[in-house]
Structure 1
């Protein structure tokens, strides 16, 4: 549902039913080496929708994104407080296996990072390593088809994935994530290193994939958020009492509302280009 700068929900006709939420974030704080980087986030992520995180650099967008599959665990000194429920289970519970979680909550990074292997092995490696018992050839083809790159690579599956163009590499990485049969796809500025044509291809792919997956995308491109997202979360920075900068969630609304009539002055000023 829409959120204001105090992190609590605002009443509005467009709301997310609890039963339709994939993630429920309750009072999440993130620290790096004792420094509070992101403060008191309350947020619900709806199922099979695209949610965009926007805001200036350093406002906590990627920091929060990494919380959804516990990638922050891999950063020395990082600590997460609060509760983050994935389908009604707190993923920061000590009993939750982070490796298994990442199979369900896949991630596509800012820069394409195909394995230094063949196109085929880029897709087959993960499922095979995790004991996949089905037909690997079919899995590879289906994953590449769903990532809208099969027709471009079907005759060169033995060639290195690193030989593809930047846009093709990113779609290969999306196919690699899909092959693990996730529930959610996290995308951290997936188009920032791509040309406009490749960006358009990835955006069209996201719109197709949301029929099967929940997608959370961090983007600095507000036009991209307005084109692809169903919901948009605006983050900003603030200065604490000690003069330290930290990120905060300011507003979370349906995308059309966010860009046409945001609830908060901060969101209005950011979207109108007054800062950021």
Structure 2
């Protein structure tokens, strides 16, 4: 498959910045507006290679907005404006000249509610590869993607069955497999287990831990325990007095949970608000 870099080589003439060491994604002074509403204020955040970064904070503080900015999903919403740099492998992808579709091939997204296509399990995995011109062995790609999503053994004998017949947890893992199939470098997850039962949630968490060997992952979660279990780094967001979402504190998860630098972080983690 062609890469974002191959599809946008002309950008390198315009961009002189280089990636920070081990940072796959770097947000520089990110601001997001929905019409006149300033939703996210001046966020600076890095995603380290092959690590899981959790975005936590109360509802409405901009976590999902920041997450969606990383692969330019926000621009699909009307009257949305995104300012600042979003550096992916050293290239500022927050530019009109950059192909947003190519960005989303390299930076995949898994949503809160499983959203399989009303097609067979096989076609759900193969669809993205087909439209991206994949020329390899499709059967092998489908099998490997389902194996990486820890779903192969459960569905290998019913690949022609509708994906809509799977359980909620299986559907979510299918969506992860579908994302993996187009060979992204980064996977964004917006509360991927919030609609699932505890057993299915545990399977998703185990899968995230395995996936970080090959992918860089950012996950929005309201579950403090989940963030503590699965993430290497945590970013805590709040709304300021002007109703703007902003980043309060970012650091190694164990350090942030056990020894937060900001009193507001300590109060949120301890359950005093949120």
Tell me, yes or no, whether TM beats 0.5: yes
- 2:271 corresponds in structure 1 to 273
Does residue 55 of structure 1 match 2:57? yes
Deviation of residue 59 (structure 1)? 0.2
8 Å contact 2:116–2:163 — kept in the other structure? yes
Does residue 178 of structure 1 match 2:180? yes
**Distance in 2 of aligned mates of 1:43 and 1:107:** 18
**Distance in 2 of aligned mates of 1:18 and 1:101:** 19
8 Å contact 2:71–2:104 — kept in the other structure? yes
CA-to-partner distance for each residue in 1:85-136, whole Å, 9 max, x for gaps?
1111101122210000000000000000000000000000110111100000
Deviation of residue 184 (structure 1)? 0.3
What pairs with 1:181-220 in structure 2 (closer than 5 Å)? 181-220=183-222
What pairs with 1:220-235 in structure 2 (closer than 5 Å)? 220-235=222-237
- Unaligned segments of structure 2, at least 5 residues: 1-18
Q: Which secondary structure does the structure 2 equivalent of 1:18 belong to?
A: coil
Deviation of residue 190 (structure 1)? 0.1
- 2:4 corresponds in structure 1 to none
Question: Which of residues 95, 98, 118 is equivalent to 1:96?
Answer: 98
Does residue 262 of structure 1 match 2:260? yes
What pairs with 1:128-207 in structure 2 (closer than 5 Å)? 128-207=130-209
**Distance in 2 of aligned mates of 1:110 and 1:237:** 22
- 2:6 corresponds in structure 1 to none
**Distance in 2 of aligned mates of 1:131 and 1:44:** 31
Q: Which secondary structure does the structure 1 equivalent of 2:116 belong to?
A: coil
**Distance in 1 of aligned mates of 2:204 and 2:153:** 15
Question: Which of residues 75, 78, 96 is equivalent to 1:76?
Answer: 78
What is the TM-score normalised by the length of structure 1? 0.92
Q: Which secondary structure does the structure 1 equivalent of 2:244 belong to?
A: strand
**Distance in 1 of aligned mates of 2:222 and 2:128:** 30
**Distance in 2 of aligned mates of 1:179 and 1:83:** 28
**Distance in 1 of aligned mates of 2:127 and 2:47:** 30
- 2:248 corresponds in structure 1 to 250
Report the count of equivalent residues: 256
What is the TM-score normalised by the length of structure 2? 0.92
Q: Which secondary structure does the structure 2 equivalent of 1:40 belong to?
A: strand
8 Å contact 2:20–2:90 — kept in the other structure? no
- Unaligned segments of structure 1, at least 5 residues: 1-16
